[in-house]
Amino acid sequence: MIYSASARRRAILQKRSSSRGSSRGSLASPPSSAIHITISNEEWPDIIACAAENDDVPSFQINRRKEIKPLNRLLQPAKFRAPFAKKKAEEDKKNTIIPATKKRHALDPICFVIKERERVDTIREFINAQDYNAALTSLMSDAGEDFHYFNKLKNESDHSKQELFSRRHGKLKCSIDAEHSLTNERTCLWHGETDRGFPLRCHNKCLNHPYEKVTNYLGVLLPRPLDFCAYHTRYCNETVKHGDLPIKIRVPNEFGLCNECHVLKTGVQPPILNRIPGTRRKRN
């Protein structure tokens, strides 16, 4: 409640003097700027009665207000802070447990089997209920997850390949060397010049011999590579038909065959090429 300053001062001083048993009369009140008093709810009835007896303030003009709370929020009781601290501790505990649980379940293959069965049963229910749109959506989402999982594994494998390849004696490097040794990586040895005198060189792979084999350093039998590619080889590659008699190639083609063998194999004559693929200008 709000009342006049004089009535408030007289009521408070009168109450204090009566409680202390003091016989002092009316005391000089201190200046209003020096008064800082907090009044509890139990003291309000006595103050209202004193103000009504002195007729300083009408009773209908006295308003009631709540008790003044301390400005320092750190002085709040611990019972108001304890629930929040307990809740935060529980959340932190859950955050530390959930990832480990997920990781453990992620490594368990039985969980994958159960999930796949549940997904299949869900799709089957959609189909039985003739809800084909939902079934198609579920299948498309499964395909998207599969692609995402594939890309994730691909990125991880690419990273591991780079690490292994960077090592001097990595297993991947040995496997790559072994794989390359099983294929023909030689390039054609042909070189020539243009009408203006510019040097040319062929970058096509060499043609393999049809029946002769060679052994590489790993002990694997491979076809013997020739010195030229299929376009620049001089004689027909079909030795089974011609035998040991070399038949010269008149029109260069991608199979390295003479005109007769090319017609028997493809049914058409070899086209005349203005520029052989793989032939580029030599750079010094």
**How far, in Å, CA of 77 to CA of 82, rounded?**
9
- Using the predicted structure, report yes or no on whether residue 231 has a pLDDT greater than 80: yes
**How far, in Å, CA of 253 to CA of 233, rounded?**
9
Domain coordinates of the chain in residue numbers?
5-61, 84-162, 184-281
Mean pLDDT across the stretch 125-136?
Answer: 87
pLDDT digits (tens, 9 = 90+) for 63-95: 444 444 444 455 455 555 555 566 666 666 555
**How far, in Å, CA of 254 to CA of 65, rounded?**
102
Predicted local distance difference test score (pLDDT) of residue 3: 53
Amino acid at residue number 205:
K
**How far, in Å, CA of 156 to CA of 23, rounded?**
93
**For residue 39, what pLDDT band results from cuts at 50, 70 and 90?**
low
| DSSP label of 195 | T
Mean pLDDT across the stretch 30-37?
Answer: 46
Predicted local distance difference test score (pLDDT) of residue 26: 46
Amino acid at residue number 70:
P
Amino acid at residue number 155:
N
Span between the terminal Cα atoms of the chain, in Å: 103
Residue-wise burial string across 22-38, b where 16 or more C-beta atoms lie within 10 A, e elsewhere: eeeeeeeeeeeeeeeee
Global pTM value: 0.35
Predicted local distance difference test score (pLDDT) of residue 119: 83
Predicted local distance difference test score (pLDDT) of residue 60: 43
More confident residue, 253 or 33: 253
Average of per-residue pLDDT values in the chain: 69
Predicted local distance difference test score (pLDDT) of residue 31: 47
| DSSP label of 61 | G
